[in-house]
Amino acid sequence: MHSKTMAKLSFSTLLMAVLYSYPAAHGWAQVSNLCPQPLKVAYNDWAPYAFQGPKGVALGLDIEIMAQLAAELGCEVSFIYIPAKRSHQMLKQGTVDLMMGATQTPERQTYARFSDEYRDEEVKLFANAGSQDYRQLRQWEDLFTYKLRLLAPVAGWYGKDYEQSRARLAQAHLLILSPDLDKSVHMLAYGRGDVMIGDAAAVSYIAKRYPNIQLVPLNITLERSGIHLMLSQVSMGAAQLAAFNQAIHTLTRRGTIAHLQQKWQSSLHISSLKKDGDS
Distance CA 270, CA 279 (A): 11
Give the per-residue pLDDT at 268. Answer: 62
Residue type, position 169, single letter? L
266 pLDDT higher than 60: yes
What is the structure's pLDDT at 156?
82
Name the average pLDDT for the chain: 84
How large is the average pLDDT for residues 108-113?
A: 97
Using the predicted structure, report yes or no on whether residue 29 has a pLDDT greater than 80. Answer: no
pLDDT for 231 beyond 90: yes
Query: What confidence score (pLDDT) does residue 62 get?
Result: 98
Contact 78, 42 (CB under 8 A): no
The stretch 6-19 carries a mean pLDDT of 38
Give residue 213's pLDDT.
Answer: 86
What is residue 36's predicted lDDT score, i.e. its pLDDT? 87
pLDDT band per the 50, 70, 90 thresholds, residue 18: very low
Query: How far are the Cα atoms of 30, 74, 115, 193 from residue 33, in angstroms, in the given order?
Result: 9, 9, 19, 51
Please tell me the predicted confidence (pLDDT) of residue 210: 82
Q: Is the pLDDT of residue 104 over 60?
A: yes
